[in-house]
């Protein structure tokens, strides 16, 4: 944790010196202000892990089955069921059947191209 925090602070110092140089920009200033936040996060995470080791959460019993509550996951889509109630679909299918029949008749008589 000390190495990580010190590295972040060193990078902050480096970005600050880049900002103060003649080729520096406000982007360097932003990074110079951002790196100390990363160092603070390293310190925060370390103490969080230390506290977690001192008082870990109670383990769940392995023999108990845990279930997902109903309605938590989305429903799976279901396949559409074909219906004969659509007159346009019935008419189109009849048209295709006539074309297939005519195509079969042309092949048997030798008139197909």
pLDDT in tens, 11-48: 999 999 999 998 889 999 999 999 999 999 999 999 99
Taking alpha carbons only, the member of 67, 63, 50 closest to residue 1 is 50
pLDDT recorded at residue 36: 96
CA-based R_g, the chain, Å: 36
- Domains of the chain, by residue range, sit at 2-54
pLDDT recorded at residue 15: 93
Q: Say what percent of the chain tops pLDDT 70.
A: 91
pLDDT recorded at residue 100: 92
Residue in the structure block whose two tokens are 């219906």: 83
Taking alpha carbons only, the member of 19, 49, 50 closest to residue 34 is 19
Q: How confident is the model at residue 104 (pLDDT cuts 50, 70, 90)?
A: confident
Which tens digits make up the pLDDT trace of 67-84?
Answer: 888 888 888 888 877 666
Q: How confident is the model at residue 110 (pLDDT cuts 50, 70, 90)?
A: low
- Count other C-beta atoms under 10 Å from residue 48's C-beta: 10
Q: How confident is the model at residue 63 (pLDDT cuts 50, 70, 90)?
A: confident
Q: How far apart are CA 62 and CA 83, in angstroms?
A: 49
């Amino acid at each position: 944790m000390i190495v990580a925090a010190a590295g972040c602070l060193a990078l902050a110092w480096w970005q600050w010196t880049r900002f103060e140089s003649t080729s520096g920009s406000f982007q360097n200033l932003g990074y110079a202000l951002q790196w100390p936040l990363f160092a603070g996060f390293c310190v925060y995470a370390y103490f969080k892990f230390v506290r977690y080791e001192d008082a870990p959460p109670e383990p769940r019993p392995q023999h108990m089955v845990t279930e997902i509550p109903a309605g938590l996951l989305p429903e799976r889509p279901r396949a559409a069921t074909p219906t004969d109630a659509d007159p346009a679909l019935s008419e189109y299918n009849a048209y295709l059947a006539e074309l297939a029949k005519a195509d079969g008749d042309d092949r048997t008589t030798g008139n197909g191209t």
